[in-house]
């Protein structure tokens, strides 16, 4: 698999550009639409392998990227429940980042997604990070909305995820149901490029907190692997 002409660097990040390689889904033209139509998400052939062709192709691509030595691979599964999002929920990721707005439709989608993720959950690793986005900018509205949605998510976990008597409290910030807040940022709404905004993004406290939360399962797993190797 030749990846030489398949990526570009994130020039908008200035000095950090050569540390961020972007692999786009393809060139956006009429041929791209035709290629999407030909993707085989479910093979009906007799004797076909259990895994569908797109799943195999994506796994092979991720293996190749790992061999290239990238420190982290971020797979954008786009918005909503669809074929690619469904594939990405079945073990591709070290940690799944679920971004939602807190609407009823989003909560319904979160319920379905968590049901899928919970089937492959490892007891020693929280396999997801919940990000509640587009919260109001004003402090009063922010606190009201965040509290309301945090309660709904907690109730969802009580109903679908948590088992037995050892159930975390609502305000347990280390629990799996804890949502990471991300307020509406007017300066991002009409942005076509991140050029000139890299420093602002990297300094944003909410974004940094989300990044740290995403790192936690990775760091925990690395520590466990190193401990097992030492023993």
153 confidence band (pLDDT: 50, 70, 90): very high
For the cut 60, the answer to whether the pLDDT of residue 59 exceeds it is yes
List b or e across 61-93, with b for residues whose CB sees 16 or more CB atoms inside 10 angstroms: beeebeeeeeeeeebebeeeeeebeebbbeeeb
Do 54 and 155 have their domain in common? no
Domain membership of residue 182 as a residue range: 77-230
- Which whole-number Å values give the CA distances from 55 to 12, 67, 107, 157, in the listed order? 31, 19, 27, 29
Exposed/middle/buried for residue 218 (C-beta within 10 Å: 0-12, 13-18, 19+): middle
Do 48 and 142 have their domain in common? no
Looking at the DSSP bridge assignments, the partners of residue 129 are 97
pLDDT at position 100 is 92
Q: Which of 36-40, 93-97, 156-160 has the lowest mean pLDDT?
A: 36-40
Chain-wide mean pLDDT for the chain?
Answer: 78
Contacts of 18 (CB under 8 A, 6+ apart): 9
Q: How far apart are CA 89 and CA 105, in angstroms?
A: 19
Do 98 and 8 have their domain in common? no
Question: How many domains are contained in the chain?
Answer: 2
pLDDT at position 164 is 82
pLDDT at position 183 is 95
Q: Which of 8-22, 47-61, 67-81, 174-188 has the lowest mean pLDDT?
A: 47-61
Do 192 and 85 have their domain in common? yes
Q: How far apart are CA 60 and CA 201, in angstroms?
A: 32
């Amino acid at each position: 698999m030749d990846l030489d002409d398949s990526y570009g660097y994130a020039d908008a990040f200035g000095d950090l550009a050569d540390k961020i390689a972007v692999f786009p889904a393809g060139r956006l033209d009429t041929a791209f639409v035709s290629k999407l139509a030909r993707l085989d998400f479910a093979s009906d052939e007799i004797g076909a392998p259990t895994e569908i062709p797109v799943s195999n192709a994506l796994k092979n691509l991720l293996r190749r990227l790992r061999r290239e030595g990238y420190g982290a691979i971020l797979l954008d599964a786009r918005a909503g429940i669809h074929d690619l999002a469904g594939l990405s929920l079945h073990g591709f990721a070290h940690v799944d980042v679920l971004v939602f707005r807190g609407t009823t439709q989003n909560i319904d989608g979160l319920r379905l997604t968590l049901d899928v993720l919970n089937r492959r959950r490892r007891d020693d690793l929280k396999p997801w990070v919940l990000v509640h986005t587009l919260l109001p900018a004003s402090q009063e509205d922010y606190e009201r909305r965040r509290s309301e949605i945090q309660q709904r998510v907690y109730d969802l976990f009580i109903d679908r995820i948590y088992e037995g008597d050892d159930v975390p409290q609502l305000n347990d910030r280390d629990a799996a149901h804890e949502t990471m807040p991300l307020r509406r940022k007017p300066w991002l709404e009409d942005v076509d490029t991140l050029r000139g905004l890299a420093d602002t993004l990297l300094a944003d406290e909410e974004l940094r907190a989300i990044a740290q939360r995403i790192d936690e399962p990775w760091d925990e797993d690395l520590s466990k692997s190193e401990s097992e190797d030492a023993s």
